[in-house]
Structure 1
Amino acid sequence: MERELILGGQKVKTNNLVEIKYPYTQEVIAKVHFATEKEALQAVEIAKQGAKEMAKLTPYERYKLLMKAAEILERRSEEFAKTLVLEVGKTIREARTEVQRAIQTLLFSAEEARRIGGEVIPIDAHPNGKGKFGFYVREPVGIVSAITPFNFPLNLSMHKVAPALASGNAVILKPSERTPLTPLMLGELLLEAGFPPSAISVLPGFGEVGKVITTHPDVRVVSFTGSRKVGEIIAKQCGIKKLVLELGSNSAVVVHKDADIERAVQKTVQGGYAIAGQVCISVQRVFVHESIFDLFLERLSSEVEKLKVGDPMEESTDVGPMISISEVERIQSWIDEALQYGSKLITGGVSCGDKVSSVLVPTVVSLVPPQSKLYREEAFAPVVVVNPYSDVDQAIQMVNDSDYGLQVGVFTKDLEIAWRFIRGIKAGGVLINEGPNFRADQMPYGGVKFSGVGKEGPKYAIEDYTEIKMVIFNLDA
């Protein structure tokens, strides 16, 4: 299958044809026309007109277009799901869940399109404000550049594109070079729904494309989800514009001595091995009270060993491949380093089969020291680290001993203990008796420290995708 890029609503071929491979078998599933600097510059110029066309649409008209897009996606849901399996390698069940979440993101964005308003400001509350009446309105910024990663190519694209369109902007989407197929399908879907063609560009490409659409002075917002390393590059080069960064994490779970152990184990398994651990809020570090440490570790390893690993297209598969063989080799080197530091391999740690493959057997490692990469960095793999702690203060210190702070899960039956964790943990979200991997698509989502800047969730993204315009009437004039 050969796929063209989308440039201002038009399908375009280039001389840059790139193969897309199925992570499970390494077979070529498509050849995609990738953009270069030339197409990126053209996309910005076309988007200027697209922004004007979008600004003419009323909130109700934008609402209707987004609702139409949701209807089309629902109708084509299985097609999208199977494409997600082929380009990401996630299981078919995980892919169907992503499609349903993307539909919800569209629906929430549609509703928010009708709620973009302003506020009356009591100007005469100021000593110099007598005789004046003021209010503000929100207006679209114009052009939004969206750059998305490989792990959720549909829904993470939707989290940027749908709110941007809901607030009346033109969008240039650059998906991961590894997973451009569903984002291109998304672009086609939005055009079918009736959005102005000049407002929609989907540009698969490499760094040169990203540099153009992040540094161009006519782009007013850059929204990026991906690695800390790339996020720092974008932050340094993008110039004076709004910046939303959803970056990495090494999310923690705390299991206190009074926790429901079975529930904590279940949520750790769900959060640690979904999409082969390739989720920014995947469970990576688990801190268990020393009084229940051995029991938790025994039950966790037992449940992890029950997970079915293999072909992601099979309905019964729990864990599919990582995005590439090189990623498996990377995480195995991290596991080896941790073992050299004296950590214990409880289960897993090897690739599936007799030779290195893109499938890593779900892994549990215990007693991992803080200086190891497996503890400090974002693993982005089906690996969970389990360490003991003695008291609440130590657990909070261990959770916060990280450059990241996205979401944290805490398991306890004691409300006072829960509040101590909520107040002490430095993260964008603290979830009580739930894993850190939980996300409802309408909630404010984002981290602190090097986990990023700004929030996603349609209502909160729209705040970044609009500008406040202050209006003041001098009533004495």
Structure 2
Amino acid sequence: MLMAVEPKASLLIGGVWRGADTGMAVDNPYSGEVLAHVACATAADAGDAIASALRGAEAMRALSTGERAAILRRAGDALSADAERFAAMITAETGKVIKASTKEVRRAVNTLRLSAEEATRLTGETIPFDSFAGGEGRHGYYVYEPLGVIAAITPFNDPLNLACHKLGPALAAGNAVILKPADQAPLTAIMLVELLLAAGLPAEALQLLTGYGRDFGAALVASDEVAMVSFTGGARVGEEIARTAGIKRVAMELGANGPVIVAADADVEKAAEACVSGAFWAAGQNCIGVQRIYVHASVYADFRDRLAAKTAALIVGDPMAAETDIGPMIAACEAERLEEWTDEALAAGAARCAGGARQGAIFPPTVLENVPASARIVRREAFGPVVSLFPFTDLDAAIAAANRAEHAIHAAIFTENIRDAHHAARHLHAAGVMINDSTDYRLDAMPFGGAGRGNMGREGVRFAIREMSQTKVICFSAR
């Protein structure tokens, strides 16, 4: 929604905050309050940002690894000291409940500190050039160098930590970054950029472009001066970026449809507790959230009843209230989409074990059973607080059903049988398999990304730094 009012000077280009002729409103999804109006960047702004980032890349390349680490360490400490303000902003612009926002800030602090540590660990190796005939008398090694300019495009659901997962590794590796935050959640990104600059980051090492990607995204990702695009978001936009980017590195995480298997010997209480958290954390707007649960027929009724009771006990409402478990989705239109998908499943024969009526952007946490496999709520990423249950009798059949999703990141199994755990870990088509935990578990130090279609690159600080670097070989000849 374009606004006629004077927008906030939210474009950071060349080390200077600037405004724009047009702006957009940032709304609180729960109250509908307009929090701010931010500037909408144009293709010309993107061009200016790229030119500045090229200078910033040289400044970053000139910094020692120790200097990069010190900047990121100071940023992590500053974020920790300002955690309450950041958490409040995350909740205000995304509707994420305050206890979840507080946890996100803690994770972001860890991500920045991990980035500081890894900045000094980006080491190469010696190469035995004399291992093949013709290499005698030669010795040498390889090192990692920065790529240059990286375009980072982040989503709304974790507006702080997912930005840190791109900025931290990129800066640790010595790159400059152009950050494009989600349309719905740019205010947290502005605060993060301010914090990094205050921590001593070179002025042109980081550019910030707020506004609608449709207005300037193509100019940004298509530029030959941009060495890499790192994107987290939906598959449709990801495909458009891939077509536009041309010959450059592209890293993408395009969402998933998380499956969980509950075996006959599982701890049913533990599994139900973990699945409630995994399915409904952040109102289900979580790329590794639990969406489909396959439960052995012998424990199906017990698990279903426990899951439904725990779901019904969740407190839904004001996300700023400490006791609230579920707040609004990012916008009413997203809740309406989920309502349409749920109604479609119910009309096709599904039954609702827990849930209720949508109220604006709030969609109550919902448990479904008897859902047809053809329903959109099963086939596609729900990205909302709805989970579907399916009984099974054969583990391999459950694994095959779990593997039917187009996009996958994590899968999970609850079992006390070590052989079944290993079997599932081997045969589930996912980038991570959680044993006796929900798909929602993620450590910010571990490799993270998609499996199957759309699998392009890995996040997780150590792994992202290598994605954002390139090797250089140095060889000495003594002959």
Which residue is 1:404 aligned to?
407
Find the counterpart in structure 2 of residue 426 from structure 1: 429
Q: Name the counterpart of 1:64.
A: 70
Distance 1:119 1:19 in 2: 50
**Structure 1 stretch displaced more, 414-423 or 451-460:** 451-460
The structure 2 residue matched to 1:86, chosen from 92, 98, 107, is 92
Counterpart residue number, 2:370: 367
Task: Describe the superposition over 1:268-294 as per-residue Cα deviations: whole angstroms up to 9, x where unpaired.
Answer: 010101110000001100010111111
- Mapping 1:275-294, distance limit 5 Å: 275-294=282-301
Aligned to 1:469: 472
| Conservation of the 8 A alpha-carbon contact between 1:147 and 1:210 | no
**Structure 2 counterpart of 1:36, from 28, 33, 42:** 42
Tell me the alpha carbon deviations over residues 106-136 of structure 1, each in whole angstroms, 9 at most, x when there is no partner.
0000000011111111111122322221311
In structure 1, what is the equivalent of residue 55 of structure 2?
Answer: 49
1:156 and 2:139 are equivalent in the alignment:
no
1:213 aligns with 2:209: no
Match of 2:380 among 377, 382, 404: 377
* Selected match of 1:442 from 442, 445, 448: 445
Deviations 1:173-222 (A, max 9, x none): 00011100000111111110011111111111222322222111011011
The residue matched to 2:37 in structure 1 has which SS?
Answer: strand
Aligned-partner residue type, residue 419 of structure 1:
H
Q: Distance in 2 between matches of 1:466 and 1:88?
A: 32
2:3 equivalent in structure 1: none
2:351 is aligned to 344
Partner Cα distance (1:43, 1:154) in 2: 21
SS in 2 for 1:270: helix
Matches within 5 A, 1:237-316: 237-316=244-323
Map of 1:127 onto structure 2: 133
Alpha-carbon offset, residue 459 of structure 1: 0.6
* Separation of aligned partners in 2, 1:349 and 1:227: 27
TM-score, normalised relative to structure 2: 0.97
Question: Structure 1 stretch 117-126 or stretch 413-422: which is displaced more?
Answer: 117-126
| Mapped partners of 1:276, 1:105: distance in 2 | 23
Q: What is the SS of the residue equivalent to 2:44?
A: helix
Equivalent-residue separation in structure 1 for 2:454 and 2:164 (angstroms)? 20
Equivalent residue letter for 1:450: R
How far the C-alpha of 1:7 sits from its partner, in A, is 1.4
One-letter code aligned to 1:363: T
Measured in 1, the distance between the counterparts of 2:474 and 2:138 equals 10
Segments of 5+ residues of structure 2 without an aligned counterpart are: 1-6
Residues 365-415 of structure 1 deviation map (CA, whole Å, 9 limit, x = unaligned): 112122111001000000011111111110110111111120011100000
* Residue type of the alignment partner of 2:156: F
1:452 aligned counterpart, secondary structure:
coil
**Cross-structure match for 2:4:** none
Counterpart CA distance in 2 for 1:140 and 1:56 is: 11
Report SS of the residue matched to 2:316. Answer: coil
The answer for the alignment partner of 1:394 in structure 2 is 397
1:207-247 deviation digits (Å, cap 9, x = unpaired): 23222221110110110000011111111110111111011
Instruction: Give the partner amino acid of 2:130.
Output: D
Task: Please state how far the C-alpha of 1:76 moved relative to its aligned partner.
Answer: 1.1
Query: Hey, what does 2:241 align to over in structure 1?
Result: 234
Contact 1:247-1:450 at 8 Å conserved across structures: no
**Which residue identity lines up with residue 405 of structure 1 in the other structure?**
A
Q: Shift of the alpha carbon at 1:8?
A: 2.6
Secondary structure of the equivalent of 1:473? strand
Question: In structure 2, what residue type is equivalent to 1:151?
Answer: N
Name the amino acid aligned to 1:62: R
Hey, what's the Cα distance between the residues in 2 that align with 1:79 and 1:8? 27
Offset of residue 170 of structure 1: 0.5
- Deviation track 1:441-460 (CA, whole Å, cap 9, x = no partner) reads 11101111135311101110
From 451, 454, 458, the equivalent of 1:455 is 458
Find the aligned partners of 1:26 and 1:316 in 2 and give their Cα distance.
Answer: 21
Determine the structure 1 residue equivalent to 2:175: 169
* 1:114 equivalent in structure 2: 120
**Segments of 4+ in structure 1 off by > 4 A?**
none
Alpha-carbon contact 1:405-1:451 (below 8 Å) kept: no
2:36 match: secondary structure:
strand
Measured after TM superposition, the shift of residue 349 of structure 1 is 4.3
Deviation at 1:295, TM superposition (A): 1.1
Q: Residue in 2 aligned with 1:146?
A: 152
CA distance, structure 1, for counterparts of residue 419 and residue 236 of structure 2: 38
Given that 1:172 and 1:203 are in contact with CA atoms closer than 8 Å, whether structure 2 keeps it comes out as: yes
8 Å contact from structure 1 (residues 48, 142) kept in 2 = yes
Partner of 1:414: 417
Identity %: 42
Residue 188 (structure 2) pairs with residue 182 (structure 1)? yes
Q: What SS class does the counterpart of residue 204 from structure 2 fall into? A: helix
> Are the equivalent residues in 2 in contact too, given 1:367–1:388 (CA < 8 A)?
no
Residues 65-86 of structure 1: per-residue CA shift (max 9 Å, x gap) = 1111111111111111100011
Please state whether the residue corresponding to 1:284 is helix, strand or coil: strand
Q: Normalised by the size of structure 1, how large is the TM-score?
A: 0.97
CA–CA separation in structure 2 for the residues paired with 1:328 and 1:44: 37
Q: Give 1:430 shift.
A: 0.2
Q: Which of 70, 75, 79 is the aligned partner of 1:73?
A: 79
Q: Secondary structure at the match of 1:288?
A: strand
Contact 1:406 1:447 in 2 (8 A): yes
Report if aligned partners of 1:47, 1:171 keep a CA contact under 8 Å in 2.
yes
CA RMSD of aligned residues (A): 1.1
1:203 aligned to 2:209? yes
